[in-house]
Amino acid sequence: MKTIIMVLSLIFMTSTVFGQNKNVKEETKTTTTTIKDSKGESKIVKTEEIKEVQEIEFENANSKKLNKDMKPTPVIVTTTNEVKVDGETKYIDVDHSSYYDLDGTKYEIKSDNKGYILLNRNKKTANGILRKTSNNNYLFRSKNKVSVGYFDENGNLVLETYDPKTDSMIKEKYVIENEQ
């Protein structure tokens, strides 16, 4: 009997760990185009995946009220475009426009027609540009430096800059913000 009570209490306590703390909405749009030309028939499949993630926070989290009001929090939207020609992936694009933080300074990454622009949110000035390379990395250029950048699995921007004085690479991590 004691074992059954222990097992039930363990199941009850661990079930609260798996509670959802995010609202996630995913939408996929697929467009298929067939082209006939002198080379034959080609099938082009364009897939656009839109993912919206919103952190769940309560207005008054410490109240004893059963039904609590949800606090409005920003929605982080990620758009991924993929183009396949005859089953072979030709192009993948992910939109990383969002707000970021580096050592207490707030930045915004906005997409433009050639890549991204890095803006300082406090000064409302452009700090540099990001241009995509052929291997899905980014070349970052500002007044003072040229770096190689990439977005890690959490969506953070990591810039690596060569330091000739120490003959080493310096990493800077722009952490994506959940609030605007």
Confidence (pLDDT) at 55: 77
Per-residue pLDDT reduced to its tens digit, 100-133: 888 888 888 888 888 888 988 877 778 899 998 8
Confidence (pLDDT) at 19: 56
Residue 151 has pLDDT above 90, yes or no: no
Q: What share of the chain is helix, strand, coil (3-state, %, to 5)?
A: 10, 60, 35
Per-residue pLDDT reduced to its tens digit, 37-63: 887 888 888 888 888 777 778 888 788
Per-residue pLDDT reduced to its tens digit, 84-104: 888 777 666 677 788 888 888
> Where does residue 128 rank: exposed (0-12), middle (13-18), buried (19+ CB within 10 A)?
buried
> Where does residue 157 rank: exposed (0-12), middle (13-18), buried (19+ CB within 10 A)?
buried
Q: What's the whole-model pTM score?
A: 0.55
The mean pLDDT of the chain is 81
Residue 20 has pLDDT above 70, yes or no: no
Between 24 and 6, the higher pLDDT residue: 24
- Residue 38, token pair as written in the block: 């002198």
pLDDT-derived band of residue 10, with 50, 70 and 90 as boundaries?
A: low
Contact 72, 84 (CB under 8 A): no
